[in-house]
Every structure is written in structure tokens, then in C-alpha cells.
């Protein structure tokens, strides 16, 4: 077996920071004299508080946290996950937080047996376990669960195989054009270009008998770079576990949609749960996939379908025949959320941070690196509190269970506490796969984009010694150049995302992590942040402490840096006089989206609704312009605020109005076909995987060419814009001196 070779590469700056010879804040550049949301008299106090906070997070403590978190497999639904929750509870209490474990009872399967056998052209047992490597003793742990897809139904079947590329709707159209019938076949698709649950949904809709999903080396294996244990990328034996729950319809417990899964909750029957897949699905590694793919017949695959395995791919069917047996143990199982609270002077306003604690196996990167950073954030805030500081608003830190099976712990908590959240929550800050490298990444509600940029200007990047923002900007610029250079002449270069004044763009929130119920269901302004890098061991046995120590974050400086960013975001939000939301940038994104919808309608010739659709497009554009004007008025009034012009009571009213703008975008009826998703401006695409769809109801109805649904979604989105505009007008009115 290969031996592990450490690959450690630290810059001189990183070594200096690790030795404590260079402070973590930005000392080489003078911070601006103002801070968004703070009255001038309060800026020096906030600067001093942030300086003290930044001195506390510690890389050695982050490493110690991760050692414990990765000491044993701790999958949701097991007692090991409960033990992690208990440990986290004690940690938060030791930092001075009030903390409790909130338990839910959810419909959650664990695998009894996953068996895959090649019947022809030769008999061979597949679904092999991942290879252990000398030097990494965790890879020998017999407690590691075999590769499986959570929420697959049980099945026992045999069938020929068809290769369906990524298993997208376009791929099925291509197979149909080639005369390939997928009905009754076992489909083999590769990971990438969409959430695995959508791959299952499409296979189910096309009446396949079963689905296998494998990790092709072209995506995250030897085609990309050195594989584990020589490098950070996926070896041929690695399996990507994951859920296939149809979270694009609704996340969380399948049997309690829209309601918290308490012990006394009303539950629907599993047969009535639309989020439960009806097609057996299992993940396999590239090594097993090669045995199947190499014996497929039929046409040579179209351009873009060839992966990285060393033979020519064919679509099938052919000689390969498979026996697939999956036996799942479905039960009501307890899950354990840890809710920690550092009470502020005003306990009626909450700044919430969150990260999940369950993992498929060891979860060093996903989610342990985020958990270790969150713990350092909490410890540092606790130290400030012990020194006499008391937060202005209450800070809550939540460690969710059962994120991996389908965002269950966070969804159940939000559903159980939706009314309180909509009354008290200021914002939700999420991290998940916290650190896999040095490249900062962020997605957010547009109102929070500028806050993310401002905070990252205040934190030092360990590798470059400059600000996290400067390193982020450089990485984004370099990535754009690489994409443009690597494009084939007939493809063209990708357009760069827009951002104000050439700032680094912040992504839109889609799905795939615990911000989803806060933002998409409850309308809480949210963000998701991380540091990314070369990471090929996602959801595999090899995502363990050794991988992190050798490839992801060897010095643990980036986990400490993530703690600083999380903490400063929390401090800016909880200490602000006026909450630092920027609705002018939100308005710019809405204007761009409505312009795009109008252009798409004209190009596609979508005329099924005739003059009514043209009227709705005009009404939507007018509502967008009204929102932009209201955002401008509110910003102008807020900039004019000064000490003596605003009372504490008026301040609270302004902040309440600012928070509820986001809730104005919620539709009471939800999106067509998936009512759990309430947000009319942002949602994960129904067939787009984790990616955000802008104006999802209207956009997807245009694609479906369904006039009645399209008109409904136009009305819903336009009404939402009017509601949000009224709330911005309230902000401007409240901020106008009497």
C-alpha cells in the first residue's frame, strides 16, 4: 500500500503569524474612519473591540478542536453524533454561553446492505470499500459506513446498463436522439453539474430501474492533480456518499414538511412524502465504474461525455449486466441540535451563526473545519464577555445535526421557531466546509454583500500578509483569467459577474447548506462563507484529520482566520447602531434580473399569455424601478443620521424595518410546485442543483412555457417587490428628522 508523504508549504508570512510575531489584524493599512451602521462617536469603541477580538482566535486550539471532532465517525442518527453534540454543549458552556440540546425525531434511514455485482460479461463483486493507506490509521477504522446514498429506497434488481453522462435533462434528450432507451435500465452517471438528488429525480422520471453515481477522475481525481495519499485529490477507490432526498422540493424531515419534527408532530405517511425518492440509488468509486463502463456497447459518447478513465466511453447498453441490492433501515431516529446563546442587552434581536456537526465519516473538512472555527469564534467572544463586554444584541451559535441527510436539524429548528425568528433574527451567518485551502468564498443576500467585503478588509490573510479581501480579489481575478485562457475558440469566455464599482462579486444563495431554511423559508438575511482549495476527498473516508494536516490547512491558520471573519461579521451586526444592510446593491441585482427576464421573453417568443404577459413584464419592471428608488431614498436618509437626530426607540424601529425588507420577498403561497420555498427572488433551481435561480418562479415558468403558472408567478413576484418597497419607504420615513 502507498505510504503517505506530507506536503507542507507555508509562506514566510504564515510562519511569522503562527509564531505570534505579526498580529492578525491589518496593521499595514489605516482602517477607515467610519464603519457602516455606526454613529461616529461609537466607531472608536467598535474598532477597539474588534482589535481585541482578533487577537484571541488561536490556530493551535483550532487544531485541538479538529482532533477531537475527527476522532471517530459520527454520522447523523447514530449515538456517535449524540456524543459530539454533548461535547459541543460542554464546550459552549465553558466559554460562558447558555447552551442546550434540542432533540427532534425524524424519518432517517441507515444502510443494512449495499450490494452491487457485475453479472456479465464476467461475475465480479463491486461496491468495494475504500482502500486504507499506511500512515493514515483512520482509513483502517471499521466503523466507517459503507458507501450509500441516504434516502434511497430498498431494492433488489438486475438489469443492463446505460451511461447517461451527468444525468441532466439535456443528457436524457441526447440519449433519446441517439435512440437509446433508458426505461428499465440501471443508469450510470457521474457526479458533477447538479445535486445528486436531482440526478435521482430525473432517472425516476425517465423510468429507469436504478441509478449508480460515480466520481470520474476528470472531475476531482488524477486528471486534476495528485491523488491521495500523494496529493489532495480523489483516489480511484474513494466513494462520494451523500443524500438523494429531493430537497429541491423541501428539505428537512420528509414526514413533517413545514412543521418542526417534535415527538408530538403530525406526520404524513412515507408514501405521501414527495421529497422521498422512488428509485434505488447508490454511489460507487471510479475503479468499480471502470469495470462497468469498459464493457458498454452502443454509440461512442458525444463530445463532452468522455471522462478521465483510460478507454473510450460508450453510451450502452452492452455486455455489462448488473445485480443491485440495497436494503435500508428506515426508522424514527433522534437528532441533536446544539443551541448556544450569549445574551445581549437587547435579547429581542438575535445575530445567529450556524454550522452542522454531523459527518458522513470523520468529516475533517466537511464540516469539522467549520466547527473548529465556530468554536474559536465562540471562545473569543466568551473571553471578551469575561473581560466585561456585553453584546448589544444576543449572539446565538447553532450546531446542527443531520445536515448531510437533507438539512434536517436546521430546517426543523427554523420550522419550529419561524415566528420568533421573523420577529427577532437580524441575520444568519453560515459556514459548512469551512476550510479546504486559502481562497475566501462568500455567498449572501445582496443586502449583506458590502458587509462581507468590509469585514474581509479588516482581517489579515495568513499566506500573503495582506487583507483577506485583497487575497480574495487577486484569486477571483486570476480565476477569471484562467477561465478565459482555457476556453476553446468556439466556446468563448465566460462573462464576469457584475459587482458595484468593480468590487469582488459575492455569490447568490442557492442550496446545499443550513442557510437554506433561514433564507428561503423564513426570509432571514443570510450569508455563507468559507476558505476553499484543492479538495477531492469530499464525503469520502479520506476526509480525515491527516488530509487536513497535510493538504487542507496544515498550520490551521485559516481555521483561525475564518473564526476572525465570523466574529467580526457577528460584532458588526450585533453592535451596529443602524444595521449595516445595503439595499441599493440588492436593487441593482433585482433590476438586472428583471431586465434579463424581459430579454429572455423577447428572444424566446414566449407568447402563450399574449398581451397579459407583456403587461406583467411592464408591471414587474415598474415595481423593480420603484424598489430601486426606495432603496436610494432610504440610503440617503440613513447617511444623514447623526447623534441627536435619532432616539433609541426610533433606532429600534428603523432596524426592525430594515430586517423585514427581506421578509417582504416571501410569498405566502410559495413557489409553484414547491410551496415550502417562499422566497420569490432567490431559490435553488428545481433542476439546477445547488445553484441559485434568480426570480425562480418566473424564470422556471418561462422555461416550462406554462402560461397560467407564469402569470401567477409574475403576480407573486411583483407583489413581493411592492411589499419590500413599502418597508424601505418605512425606513426612509423613520429616518427623516421630525
pLDDT of residue 645: 77
Cell 458507501 maps to which residue?
A: 147
pLDDT of residue 614: 82
pLDDT of residue 30: 62
Strands 321-342 and 242-243: unpaired
Q: What are the domain boundaries of the chain?
A: 12-103+336-575, 107-332, 583-734
| Weakest-pLDDT range from 152-156, 406-410, 682-686, 688-692 | 688-692
φ and ψ at 211, to 5 degrees? -140, 135
For residue 148, the 8-state DSSP code is -
Cell 488530509 maps to which residue?
A: 547
Q: Does residue 540 carry a pLDDT above 50? A: yes
Mean pLDDT in residue range 45-66? 98
pTM of the model: 0.94
Q: Does residue 3 carry a pLDDT above 50? A: no
Cβ neighbors of 25 (< 8 A, separation 6 or more) are 50, 51, 54, 55, 458, 459, 460
pLDDT (tens digit per residue) in 169-184: 999 999 999 999 999 9
Give the rounded percent of residues in the chain with a pLDDT score beyond 90: 86
Cell numbers for 59, please give them.
Answer: 490556530
Contact indicator for 265, 256 with CB cutoff of 8 Å: yes
Mean pLDDT in residue range 70-87? 98
- As to burial, measured by CB atoms within 10 angstroms (0-12 exposed, 13-18 middle, 19+ buried), residue 272 is exposed
Which range among 4-8, 275-279, 692-696, 707-711 has the greatest average pLDDT?
Answer: 275-279
Calculate the CA dihedral of residues 463, 4, 539, 145 and round it to 10 degrees.
Answer: -150
Among 222, 276, 237, smallest CA distance to 253 is for 276
Provide the annotated active-site residues: 403
- Whether domain 583-734 has CATH 1.20.930.40: the reply is yes
pLDDT (tens digit per residue) in 601-622: 776 654 445 677 788 899 999 9
CATH no. for 12-103+336-575: 3.40.630.10
pLDDT of residue 489: 32
- Whether domain 107-332 has CATH 3.20.20.70: the reply is no
pLDDT (tens digit per residue) in 23-38: 566 544 567 789 999 9
Q: Does residue 147 carry a pLDDT above 50? A: yes
Among 704, 707, 647, 713, smallest CA distance to 678 is for 713
Q: Does residue 492 carry a pLDDT above 50? A: no
pLDDT (tens digit per residue) in 509-531: 998 999 999 999 999 999 999 99
Q: Does residue 350 carry a pLDDT above 70? A: yes
Average pLDDT of the residues of the chain:
92
Calculate the alpha carbon distances from 342 to 264, 353, 500 in Å.
30, 12, 35
* Own/partner long-range contacts of 67-70 (Cβ < 8 Å, ≥24 apart): 67/545, 69/357, 69/363, 69/364, 69/368, 69/371, 69/372, 70/138, 70/362, 70/363, 70/364, 70/368, 70/544, 70/545, 70/548
pLDDT confidence band for 14 (50 / 70 / 90): low
Cell 451511461 maps to which residue?
A: 163
The whole-angstrom separation of Cα 564 and Cα 587 is 30
Amino acid at each position: 500500500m502507498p505510504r503517505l508523504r506530507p506536503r507542507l508549504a507555508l509562506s514566510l508570512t504564515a510562519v511569522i503569524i503562527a509564531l505570534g510575531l505579526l498580529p492578525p489584524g491589518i496593521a499595514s493599512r489605516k482602517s477607515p474612519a467610519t464603519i457602516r451602521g455606526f454613529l461616529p462617536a461609537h466607531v472608536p469603541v467598535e474598532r477597539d473591540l474588534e482589535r481585541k477580538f482578533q487577537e484571541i482566535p488561536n490556530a493551535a486550539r483550532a487544531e485541538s478542536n479538529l482532533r477531537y471532532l475527527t476522532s471517530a465517525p459520527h454520522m447523523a442518527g447514530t449515538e456517535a453524533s449524540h456524543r459530539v453534540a454533548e461535547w459541543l454543549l460542554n464546550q459552549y458552556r465553558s466559554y460562558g454561553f447558555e447552551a442546550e440540546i434540542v432533540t427532534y425525531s425524524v424519518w432517517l434511514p441507515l444502510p443494512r446492505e449495499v450490494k452491487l455485482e457485475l453479472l456479465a460479461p464476467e461475475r465480479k463483486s463491486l461496491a468495494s470499500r475504500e482502500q486504507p493507506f499506511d500512515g493514515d490509521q483512520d482509513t483502517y477504522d471499521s466503523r466507517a459506513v459503507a458507501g450509500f446514498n441516504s434516502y434511497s429506497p430498498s431494492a433488489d434488481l438486475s438489469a443492463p446498463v446505460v451511461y447517461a453522462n451527468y444525468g441532466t435533462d439535456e443528457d436524457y434528450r441526447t440519449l433519446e436522439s441517439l435512440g437509446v432507451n433508458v426505461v428499465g435500465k440501471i443508469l450510470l452517471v457521474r457526479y458533477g453539474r447538479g445535486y445528486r438528488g436531482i440526478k435521482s429525480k430525473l432517472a425516476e422520471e425517465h423510468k429507469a430501474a436504478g441509478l449508480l453515481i460515480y466520481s470520474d477522475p476528470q472531475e476531482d481525481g488524477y486528471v486534476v492533480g495528485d491523488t491521495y495519499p500523494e496529493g489532495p485529490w480523489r483516489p480511484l477507490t474513494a466513494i462520494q456518499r451523500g443524500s438523494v432526498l429531493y430537497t429541491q422540493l423541501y428539505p428537512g424531515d420528509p414526514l413533517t414538511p413545514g412543521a418542526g419534527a417534535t415527538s408530538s408532530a403530525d406526520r404524513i405517511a412515507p408514501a405521501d412524502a414527495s421529497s422521498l425518492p422512488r428509485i434505488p440509488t447508490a454511489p460507487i468509486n471510479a475503479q468499480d465504474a471502470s469495470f462497468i463502463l469498459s464493457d458498454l456497447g452502443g454509440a461512442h459518447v458525444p463530445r463532452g461525455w468522455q471522462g478521465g478513465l483510460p478507454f473510450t466511453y460508450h453510451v450502452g447498453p452492452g455486455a455489462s449486466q448488473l445485480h443491485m441490492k440495497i436494503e435500508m433501515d428506515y426508522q424514527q431516529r433522534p437528532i441533536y441540535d446544539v443551541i448556544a446563546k450569549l445574551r445581549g442587552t437587547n435579547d429581542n434581536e438575535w445575530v445567529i451563526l450556524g454550522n452542522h456537526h454531523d459527518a458522513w465519516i470523520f468529516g475533517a473538512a466537511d464540516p469539522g473545519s467549520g466547527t473548529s472555527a465556530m468554536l474559536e469564534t465562540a471562545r473569543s467572544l466568551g473571553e471578551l464577555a469575561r473581560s466585561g463586554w456585553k453584546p448589544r444584541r444576543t449572539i446565538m451559535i447553532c450546531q446542527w445535526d443531520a445536515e448531510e441527510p437533507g438539512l434536517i436539524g436546521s430546517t426543523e429548528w427554523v420550522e419550529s421557531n419561524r415566528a420568533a425568528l421573523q420577529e427577532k433574527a437580524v441575520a444568519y451567518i453560515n459556514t459548512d466546509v469551512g476550510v479546504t485551502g486559502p481562497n475566501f468564498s462568500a455567498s449572501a443576500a445582496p443586502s449583506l454583500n458590502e458587509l462581507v467585503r468590509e469585514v474581509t478588509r479588516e482581517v489579515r490573510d495568513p499566506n500573503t500578509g495582506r487583507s483577506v479581501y485583497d487575497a480574495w480579489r487577486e484569486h477571483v481575478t486570476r480565476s477569471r483569467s484562467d477561465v478565459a485562457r482555457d476556453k476553446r475558440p468556439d466556446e468563448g469566455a465566460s462573462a464576469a459577474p457584475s459587482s458595484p464599482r468593480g468590487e469582488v462579486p459575492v455569490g447568490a444563495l442557492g442550496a446545499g447548506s443550513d442557510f437554506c431554511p433561514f433564507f428561503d423559508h423564513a426570509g432571514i438575511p443570510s450569508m455563507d462563507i468559507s476558505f476553499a482549495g484543492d479538495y477531492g476527498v469530499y464525503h469520502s473516508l479520506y476526509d480525515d484529520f491527516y488530509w487536513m494536516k497535510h493538504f487542507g490547512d496544515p498550520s490551521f491558520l485559516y481555521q483561525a482566520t475564518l473564526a476572525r471573519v465570523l466574529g467580526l461579521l457577528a460584532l458588526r451586526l450585533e453592535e451596529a447602531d443602524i444595521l449595516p444592510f445595503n439595499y441599493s446593491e440588492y436593487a441593482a441585482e433585482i433590476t438586472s434580473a428583471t431586465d434579463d427576464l424581459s430579454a429572455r421573453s423577447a428572444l424566446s417568443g414566449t407568447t402563450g399569455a399574449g398581451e397579459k404577459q407583456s403587461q406583467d413584464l411592464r408591471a414587474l419592471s415598474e415595481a423593480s424601478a420603484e424598489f430601486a428608488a426606495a432603496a436610494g431614498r432610504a440610503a440617503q436618509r440613513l447617511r444623514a443620521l447623526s447623534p441627536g437626530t435619532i432616539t433609541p426607540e426610533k433606532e429600534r424601529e428603523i432596524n426592525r424595518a430594515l430586517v423585514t425588507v427581506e421578509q417582504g420577498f416571501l410569498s405566502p403561497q410559495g413557489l409553484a410546485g414547491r410551496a415550502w420555498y417562499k422566497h420569490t427572488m432567490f431559490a435553488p433551481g428545481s433542476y439546477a442543483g445547488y445553484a441559485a435561480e434568480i426570480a425562480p418562479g418566473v424564470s422556471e415558468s418561462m422555461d416550462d412555457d406554462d402560461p397560467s403558472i407564469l402569470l401567477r408567478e409574475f403576480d407573486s413576484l411583483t407583489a413581493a417587490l411592492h411589499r419590500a418597497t413599502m418597508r424601505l419607504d418605512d425606513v426612509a420615513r423613520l429616518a427623516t428628522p421630525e
